[in-house]
Amino acid sequence: MNPLTLIVLPLLGAIATAIGPSSWARWTAFLFSLAVLAGSIVCAVQFPEWHTGRYWPDANEGSTLKAFGISMQLGGDSVNMLLLLLTTFMVPLTLAGSFSGITERHREYYTWFMLLEASLMLAFLSRDLILFYVGYEFTLVPMFFLISIWGGTQRRPAAIKFFLFTFLGSIFTLAAGIYVAARSAEASGVWDFGLASLTRFGCEQLTDREQFWVFAGLVAGFAVKTPVFPVHSWLPLAHDQAPTGGSVILAAVLLKLGTYGVYRIALPMAPAGAVELASFFGVLGILAIVVTAMICWVQTDVKKLIAYSSISHMGFVIMGLFAFNPIGMQGSIMYMISHGLSTGALFLCIGMIYERFHTKEMDAMSGLARHMPVWGTFMIIFTLASLGLPGLNGFPGEFLCLMGTFVAEHDQPAGYPGVMGPWFAVVAAGGLILGAMYLLIMLGKIVWGPLKVPGASADPHEHAHGDQGHGGLSRDLNVREIAILLPIAIACFFTGLYPRLLLDVTEPSAREALVSFPEHVNAYNAARGKVNPSGAKQSVTLMPSPTGSLPRLMIEQPLQVTP
């Protein structure tokens, strides 16, 4: 399967949607997105490098700007494939979820959506910094229109803030990338924007100081996109105002672009800078986890709450990434996937409520489990997934991210020293409690409690009869909506119960990304007087019994055993 197909197919979809009649738009787009899904599955089946960490297919579809070595290098390793699958999996579901929510300008909506998918495909498939940037940046345009045409009442400022903020960040990313390429060209005399060569050059030949600034620049964009704590303020607004489909794809895939960028570009390209800034980002991650979780607590708008929860969750990913060990890395990849599934699904659920009641205020509704039991069931599943209940998808990622942070010490025995350590992890793990708090409060307000249907007339019997609910939709979820949520729920369970599949395939990639880190981390720690004793903390310290057979009982007892 030529990866170019995966980019061209949604583009064709966009064109077909744009020129076809408005009434066909949704189906055209949906069918094309299904085709992309099928294509990506074929790709995944063909993908031979699941367990090697190598890239496939290393296809070069011609040079885009030969003078600077910018070329259409496409291909991916297992992490790319996973994110690709996540995207192609979520897009058809999101499109189907928009069928009833989008009531005007159908053609434009679905066209933008297909363009969005195309640019996401490009971003996840390119092996060239500039083309990655093209895909990465162009996602802003469809998203901008999705928010500002079909969004809520504050849609315009929200869209502009989203666009400007992200643009501001990512242009620094571009500048930093160009800087590395320019230095590389200086050194070798040949321009090359291929990620592989840039990464190699960046980590091997840039000085620590350069790496610091390069990393800061690269991460500036990715941090905004992720979003990391103090630069997150576009997200609640954008999520809140976006139409359901926009929110879903924003949470499920677009945020992953940021963390993917950190994982694939920023960390390997400037490891010394990453190490230098790791504790800073660790603190930011903690702030994201704890502070936004507390902010979630006082939200009254359920969509805003979930938006803030996204920030909190991405904090875990950041912690995992900056742990610099396979546990954290793989945990954060797991978490990216699982956050895409569960938060996306939560937004879909909220969208379904919004289509029926036209409100997202938690105080306006209550006890909907009685009114819409099927919806309630899904809502509970995804909420639990979101709060990291073991057995569901959120847990492995969260657990491993925090564990990775935990063992990210200078003398930790995993062979991958880090700069964070237990205190970071323990504080961040406070997010486990806070996360449970706000999510359960949300459940308690809208799913549980005495029945209160928003906008309902005083006479409750009116709802009792007739299955017809609000907005021309059935009272509980209809078959289409169940068909949207069910695959996600199944994916949630599968990921939670058999994460091995993902862990296996991400392991080589994570090790590849980490390859130059132990050295830099050791140097960094040594400069701070924390020497890594030959790589590993010895199992030490369990003192062997003096006689080899007679351990000393540590509880005091009246009858002492004579040795």
> Nearest CA to 86 among 47, 126, 120?
120
490 binds other proteins (CB under 8 A): no
> Nearest CA to 195 among 126, 119, 274, 272?
126
Please classify residue 459 by burial: count the beta carbons closer than 10 Å to its beta carbon, then call 0-12 exposed, 13-18 middle and 19+ buried: exposed
Residues of span 374-393 touching other proteins by CB under 8 A? 374, 384, 389-391
Nearer to other proteins, 98 or 330 (CB): 330
Q: How far apart are CA 510 and CA 327, in angstroms?
A: 9
Of the candidate residues 24, 27, 99, 138, the single one contacting other proteins (CB under 8 A): 138
430 binds other proteins (CB under 8 A): yes
Q: How far apart are CA 279 and CA 358, in angstroms?
A: 43
Residue carrying structure tokens 């390429």: 181
Residues of span 63-102 touching other proteins by CB under 8 A? 63-68
Nearer to other proteins, 526 or 550 (CB): 550
Greatest CA separation found in the chain? 93
Q: CB–CB of 125/76 below 8 Å? A: yes
489 binds other proteins (CB under 8 A): no
130 binds other proteins (CB under 8 A): yes
19 binds other proteins (CB under 8 A): no
Which stretch, 37-45, 250-258, 418-426, 521-529, contacts other proteins (CB under 8 A)?
Answer: 418-426
Give the tokens for residue 3: 């990866």
167 binds other proteins (CB under 8 A): yes
Q: CB–CB of 259/321 below 8 Å? A: yes
Of the candidate residues 45, 458, 464, 527, the single one contacting other proteins (CB under 8 A): 464
Nearer to other proteins, 90 or 403 (CB): 403
402 binds other proteins (CB under 8 A): yes
Separation in Å, CA 93 to CA 149, 499, 558: 21, 22, 69
201 binds other proteins (CB under 8 A): no
307 binds other proteins (CB under 8 A): no
What does the radius of gyration of the chain's CA atoms come to, in whole angstroms? 25
Q: Minimal distance in Å, beta carbon 498 to other proteins?
A: 7
312 binds other proteins (CB under 8 A): no
Which stretch, 50-58, 238-246, 248-256, 395-403, contacts other proteins (CB under 8 A)?
Answer: 395-403
Other C-beta atoms closer than 10 Å to the C-beta of 288 total 30
For residue 277, give the amino acid letter: L
Nearer to other proteins, 352 or 384 (CB): 384
Q: Minimal distance in Å, beta carbon 155 to other proteins?
A: 9
β-bridge pairing 56-65 and 70-76 = antiparallel
Q: CB–CB of 351/318 below 8 Å? A: no
Residues of span 353-372 touching other proteins by CB under 8 A? 367, 369-371
Residue carrying structure tokens 């069931």: 377
Q: Minimal distance in Å, beta carbon 504 to other proteins?
A: 7
53 binds other proteins (CB under 8 A): no
Of the candidate residues 189, 457, 458, 461, the single one contacting other proteins (CB under 8 A): 461
Q: CB–CB of 349/379 below 8 Å? A: yes
Residues of span 177-196 touching other proteins by CB under 8 A? 178-179, 181-182, 185-186
Size, binding site for other proteins by CB under 8 A: 126
Q: CB–CB of 72/46 below 8 Å? A: no
Q: How far apart are CA 495 and CA 378, in angstroms?
A: 16
Which stretch, 37-45, 241-249, 259-267, 415-423, contacts other proteins (CB under 8 A)?
Answer: 415-423
Residues of span 492-531 touching other proteins by CB under 8 A? 497-500, 503-504, 507, 510-511
> Nearest CA to 306 among 360, 373, 245?
360
Give the tokens for residue 452: 């209160």
**x-or-dash string of contact with other proteins, 219-238, rule CB under 8 A:** -----------x--xx--x-
440 binds other proteins (CB under 8 A): yes
373 binds other proteins (CB under 8 A): yes
